[in-house]
Amino acid sequence: MQQPSNAAQMECDVLVIGGGPSGCTVGPLLAEKGHKVVILEKAHHPRFHIGESLLPANLPLFERLGVAEEIKAIGMVKRAAEFVSFADGRKQEYQFAEAWDKTMPYAYQVLRSKFDEVLIRNAEKKGVEVHEGCRARAVDFLPDDSGAIVEAENDDGSTLRWRARFVVDASGRDTFLANRFQIKHRNPKHNSSSVYGHFAGARRHPGQAEGNITIYWFEHGWFWFIPMQDDQTSIGMVTWPYFMKTRDKRSLTEFLMDGIAMCPPLKERLMDAKLINEVEATGNFSYVSERNHGPNYVLLGDAYAFIDPVFSSGVLLAMNSGFLAADAIDTCLKQPEQAPVAMREFDRLMKHGPKEFSWFIYRITNPNMRDLFMHPRNTFRVKEALLSLLAGDVFGKTPIWRSIRILKSIYYLTSLSRPMRSWMAWKKRKFNIRPVEDAEMGHA
C-alpha cells in the first residue's frame, strides 16, 4: 500500500515494527480485540531467516493463533533433541514424549521463509494492515504519553506517517527502539557468534528420528544440525569471538567447512552433502536491553534480548512475548488506570523465560554440565524437568521447578567435588566470552 511522500498523517491504535513471529503474534491478537493494528515489515515475504527449530510448547500457540494446520503442512516432525559430545563421541537423546507433561511429544523444524509467511498472511486475514517493503525510520513519542508519531519509508522512497496510541518493537535483531534509546548492551555473561548455511544430501537418522535436531559440541563451541522438508538441512556453527578472529582471509564458506572438519561426527553426516545457499554470519549473538517497556511501547522477542540458540528457544520466546503483550496493551488502551499493574506483570513474565533458559545456556559448554546432559538420571524427576525445559514448557503450570532446583544443586555439588576441573572451566569460559576487541588486544 503506497502513499505519496506528502501523504496526510494516518492513525492507528497499535503500530508494530517488524513482521516476524512476535509482531505477527501480537498483531492479529490485538486486531481480534477490536484494535486497529498496522505492521511495518522492511522485507518482502518470503524471505530468508535463521532459527528453524521450534519447540513443543510452540504448538499450543499455533492453535490459539489459528495456524496449526498450516504449520503442520510445512513442518518436519521433531520428536527429540540429540546431544553429541566431542570428548568421547557419546550420544544422548532426549525424547519430548518423556517430559513431565506427556501431551507435547513433538515439535517441528521449519523453513523460516515459509513459516514467517504463514504468520504474516494470517495477520492480514485477521484484519491487520500489513506494509511489506516498508522500513520504520523514526519514532517520536508525544510528551503527554498519548502515543507516538512513526515515520516509515517504502522501497520506492515514499514516506508514510502514523500517529499511534501504542508502539510495539518487534524488529528482531535490528533492535529498533533499544538502539534509539541506547539501552542495548552486550550480555556480559555470554558472547558468541554464528556461521550457517543450508545443505542438501545430509545424512539423516532413519524412521521417526529423521527430523530430530542434533547438537554437536566441538572444541570451539557447538554446531546445530536441523533437518527440514525437501532435503534441506540447516547447519550452523556457534562459536566464541577468539575463534571467529582466526577466520582471517578465509570466506565464510571456507570458515564453516573448516569448522565442520573439526567435528568428525558432523563431518561424516555431511560427507555427501552440498551447500545450496550463501553462507551467512551473525556476530554479537548475545545481548540484552535495560528494559522491555515504557510509556506507550513494548519491546518483544529479539528486539528485547537474545542469548544463544542452543535450546531453540527464540521463536517460542518471541511468540509468547506477543501473547503477553497483547493482553497488556489491551489493558493499557481500554483500562489506562490498570496500565501500571498490567505492565509490571508483562515485565515479570518477559524476564522469566530468558532467565530460566540462560542459566543452562551459560553452562552448556562446561564439562560438568556436559556430563549431566550426557548421563541423565531421573532421581527426583530431574530428567523429566530438564526435558520440559528443552520442550519450552516454562510458562505453564507444569510443576517442574522443584526438580529444576535439585538439578542445579547437583551441578553445583559436582562442580565443588571437582575443584580443579571447575576452576579451569571457569577460566576458559572467562577467556571465551571476551569481546573481539579484548581478544585482539590479547593477541597483539
Looking at residue 284, its pLDDT comes to 62
Quote the percentage of the chain above a pLDDT of 70: 95
Looking at residue 307, its pLDDT comes to 86
Looking at residue 192, its pLDDT comes to 86
Mean pLDDT calculated for residue range 19-31: 98
In SS3 terms, the chain reads as: CCCCCCCCCEEEEEEEECCCCCHHHHHHHHHHCCCCEEEEECCCCCCCCCCCECCCCHHHHHHHHCCHHHHHHHEEEECEEEEECCCCCCEEEEEHHHCCCCCCCCEEEECHHHHHHHHHHHHHHCCCEEEECEEEEEEEECCCCCCEEEEEEECCCCEEEEEEEEEEECCHHHCHHHHHHCCEEECCCCCCEEEEEEEECCCCCCHHHHHCEEEEEECCEEEEEEEECCCEEEEEEEECHHHHHHHCCCCHHHHHHHHHHCCHHHHHHCCCCEECCCCEEECCCCEEECCCEECCEEECHHHCEECCHHHCCHHHHHHHHHHHHHHHHHHHHHCHHHHHHHHHHHHHHHHHHHHHHHHHHCCCCCHHHHHHHHCCCCHHHHHHHHHHHHCCCCCCCCCCHHHHHHHHHHHHHHHHHCHHHHHHHHHHHHHHCCCHHHHHHHCC
Q: What spatial distance separates the first Cα and last Cα of the chain, rounded to whole Å?
A: 53
CA pair distance 80, 83, nearest whole angstrom: 10
Q: What is the mean pLDDT of the chain?
A: 93
Task: Find the angle CA(264)-CA(270)-CA(271) to the nearest 5 degrees.
Answer: 85
Reported as a pLDDT band with limits 50, 70 and 90, residue 188 is confident
400-442 pLDDT tens trace: 999 999 999 999 999 999 999 999 999 998 888 887 654 332 3
Looking at residue 345, its pLDDT comes to 97
CA pair distance 398, 100, nearest whole angstrom: 7
Looking at residue 442, its pLDDT comes to 32
Mean pLDDT calculated for residue range 103-129: 97
pLDDT of 85 above 90:
no
pLDDT of 209 above 70:
yes
Reported as a pLDDT band with limits 50, 70 and 90, residue 252 is very high
Looking at residue 7, its pLDDT comes to 60
pLDDT of 443 above 50:
no
Reported as a pLDDT band with limits 50, 70 and 90, residue 346 is very high
pLDDT of 6 above 80:
no
Grid cell 506507550 is found at 296
CA pair distance 261, 263, nearest whole angstrom: 5
Looking at residue 86, its pLDDT comes to 78
Q: Which domains does the chain have, with CATH numbers?
A: 10-52+112-186+287-356 (3.50.50.60), 76-108+188-282 (3.30.9.100), 357-442 (no CATH)
Mean pLDDT calculated for residue range 293-312: 93
Mean pLDDT calculated for residue range 86-100: 89
pLDDT of 248 above 60:
yes
32-51 pLDDT tens trace: 999 999 999 999 999 999 99
